[in-house]
Amino acid sequence: MELRTSFTRNHLYLMCLDDDSLHFFESFMGIHCIPLSGLNISSHEQIWVLRVRVVSCLAEAGHDVIMSDADALWLADPMKDFSLPGVIDSSIVASRGKKPKEVGKVWGATMCMGFILFRATANRTAMGKFVTVMNALVFESEDDQIAVCMERFWYPLP
């Protein structure tokens, strides 16, 4: 991994849903894992709420956050694309999604939480407001992808 990307294992944390994954990634890959069982989460649906909280805490601390699901394979270093002129000043950069459909009809696509970058440095005040609203929306929808798209739809950045 370190040969093809600007990230190292020191920057990476995985949320492991089961003990077998936890053992594999920590023992054989040397990657830090956070066990789902240690997070006091009553159901898998609450993972979305937790992901929003993680983004909130890290962005407030001044860290950029990349969320990447296990099925979002990196074919190249994404940091190169995040540094392109049309992207470098963006607060949020995401892969294309399909839901919620009402937002997709207006925008032509939606943001997918399976691979998304939240920049803490782009506009800290706007990012703070965004995360606050998204935090509230994720409790209503129990889906962070719907929450992120609805927040951008109803509360666009200045």
Residue extents of the structural domains in the chain: 1-40, 44-154
pTM metric for this prediction: 0.68
DSSP code of 27? I
The tens digit of pLDDT for each residue in 65-120 reads 888 877 777 787 787 888 888 888 888 888 888 777 777 788 787 878 788 888 87
The tens digit of pLDDT for each residue in 53-64 reads 777 777 777 778
Separation in Å, CA 157 to CA 4, 61, 116, 150: 33, 20, 17, 13
Long-range CB contacts for residues 68-75, cutoff 8 Å, separation at least 24: 68/114, 68/115, 69/113, 69/114, 69/115, 71/114, 72/114, 72/115, 74/4, 74/5
Task: Quote the pLDDT of residue 53.
Answer: 76
3 state DSSP class of 15? strand
Q: Which amino acid is at 46?
A: Q
